């Protein structure tokens, strides 16, 4: 029992974080490529961005000379992602108001 608890309290190796981030990024890329709903595509892009953030924070934690640079970049990426979502959802909402659909295949022209 004690050995099991020690394994639970052990530090996760860097490879563990990178594997989880790679899986998150792959799921996000797969979803962004196959889905046609613009809102779902945004969610998949956010999943890919969060995978990159996980990688940045993991490297910042494991590299001795990083000095928190990875976490700083992650905060910057989160701020940029929030702005990207605000602009993207505004565009999707405008398209929905004019065409009554958010299907990417049906929106093939930028004319209103």
CATH number for the domain harbouring residue 82 = 1.10.287.3510
Task: Give the 3-state secondary structure of residue 36.
Answer: coil
Q: Examine residue 37 and state whether it is found in any structural domain, yes or no.
A: yes
Q: Examine residue 106 and state whether it is found in any structural domain, yes or no.
A: no
Q: Examine residue 77 and state whether it is found in any structural domain, yes or no.
A: yes
Task: Give the 3-state secondary structure of residue 107.
Answer: coil
Q: What is the pLDDT of residues 46-99, one digit of tens each?
A: 999 999 999 999 998 888 887 888 889 999 999 999 999 999 999 999 989 988
Query: What Cα–Cα distance (Å) separates residue 89 from each residue in 30, 59, 93, 96?
Result: 21, 31, 6, 10
Q: What is the pLDDT of residue 10?
A: 81
Q: What is the pLDDT of residues 16-31, one digit of tens each?
A: 999 999 999 999 999 9
Q: Examine residue 8 and state whether it is found in any structural domain, yes or no.
A: no
Q: What is the pLDDT of residues 86-102, one digit of tens each?
A: 999 999 999 899 889 88
Alpha carbon 89 to its chain centroid, in Å, reads 16
Q: Examine residue 89 and state whether it is found in any structural domain, yes or no.
A: yes
Residue 58: count of CB within 10 angstroms of its CB: 21
Q: Examine residue 39 and state whether it is found in any structural domain, yes or no.
A: yes
Q: Examine residue 108 and state whether it is found in any structural domain, yes or no.
A: no
Domains identified in the chain, total number: 1
Q: Which residue has the higher pLDDT, 34 or 110?
A: 34
Q: Examine residue 6 and state whether it is found in any structural domain, yes or no.
A: no
Q: Say how far apart CA 37 and CA 52 lie, in whole Å.
A: 23
Q: Say how far apart CA 68 and CA 60 lie, in whole Å.
A: 6
Q: What is the pLDDT of residue 1?
A: 79
How is residue 93 annotated by DSSP? H
Domain limits for position 64: 13-101
């Amino acid at each position: 029992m004690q050995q099991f608890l020690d394994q639970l309290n052990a530090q996760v190796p860097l490879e563990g974080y990178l594997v989880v981030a790679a899986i998150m990024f792959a799921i996000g890329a797969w979803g962004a490529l196959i889905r046609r709903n613009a809102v779902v595509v945004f969610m998949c892009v956010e999943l890919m961005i969060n995978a990159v953030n996980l990688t940045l924070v993991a490297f910042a934690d494991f590299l001795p000379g990083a000095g928190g640079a990875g976490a700083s970049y992650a905060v910057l990426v989160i701020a940029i992602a929030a702005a990207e979502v605000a602009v993207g959802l505004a565009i999707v909402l405008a398209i929905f108001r004019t065409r009554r659909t958010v299907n990417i295949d049906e929106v093939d022209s930028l004319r209103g």
